[in-house]
Amino acid sequence: MIRDFLPLLLLAALPLSAAADDDVRANYLLACRGCHLADGSGVPPEVPSLRNTLGPLTATAEGRDYLVRVPAVLQSRLSDVKLAEVLNWVLTEFNADTLPRDFKPLTVSEVTAARTQVLADPIGYRRARLFGKSVAE
């Protein structure tokens, strides 16, 4: 019985997920696009690119925290839930080629916890603690 309806159910779920994706993209446009541009390419050197530069960061707890602790991310007006959605969207949309195979999306609790730890010197932190040259300057 359920098997007969499964395709219908799947069809019904499609527009919903598409609408949610649109909302996430709209929040990216609102909070990030001003500097990083619609396709995430940025305007180097003033604005770093978000394309295929962030994948390796998701492999360690320190790197995952860093994605949230960057000042402009941490200060954005998005709620923790929406911020997690946007960050995961940036990772899967712009960084699919560099994501580790066992990539786990950022959770809301990770975002909430990291957001309380302001990074006073993001560039120094990146040079000293993170993955050297594999990360875009």
Partner 1 sequence: MTRSNLIDKGYYWLDEKARDGVRLMAQRISRRSFLGRLGAMLAGAAMLPLLPVARSFAQESAVKEIGDPKTCEYWRYCALGGTLCACCGGTHNSCPPGAEPSPITWVGTCRNPVDDKDYLISYNDCCGKAVCARCGCGNSERDRPVYYPTNSNSILWCFGTEHRSYHCTVAVVLGEAADSQ
How far is CA 55 from its chain centroid?
A: 10
Q: Do residues 100 and 58 make contact, with C-beta atoms less than 8 angstroms apart? A: yes
Q: Is 13 in the site for partner 1 (CB under 8 A)?
A: no
Closer by beta carbon to partner 1, 90 or else 99: 90
CA distance 118 to 104: 23
* Binding residues among 49-108 for partner 1 as defined by CB under 8 A: 72, 75-77, 82
Binding letters toward partner 1, positions 14-53, x by CB under 8 A:
--------xxx-xx-xxx-xxx-xx----x--xx------
How many helices (DSSP H) and strands (DSSP E) are in the chain? 7, 0
Q: Is 12 in the site for partner 1 (CB under 8 A)?
A: no
Closer by beta carbon to partner 1, 85 or else 110: 85
To the nearest whole angstrom, how small is the minimum distance from the Cβ of residue 50 to partner 1? Answer: 14
CA distance 124 to 131: 12
To the nearest whole angstrom, how small is the minimum distance from the Cβ of residue 63 to partner 1? Answer: 23
DSSP secondary structure code for residue 55 in this structure: G
DSSP secondary structure code for residue 43 in this structure: B
To the nearest whole angstrom, how small is the minimum distance from the Cβ of residue 101 to partner 1? Answer: 31
Q: Say what the alpha-carbon torsion angle 71, 75, 79, 85 is, to the nearest 10 degrees.
A: -30
Residues that bind partner 1 (CB under 8 A): 22-24, 26-27, 29-31, 33-35, 37-38, 43, 46-47, 72, 75-77, 82
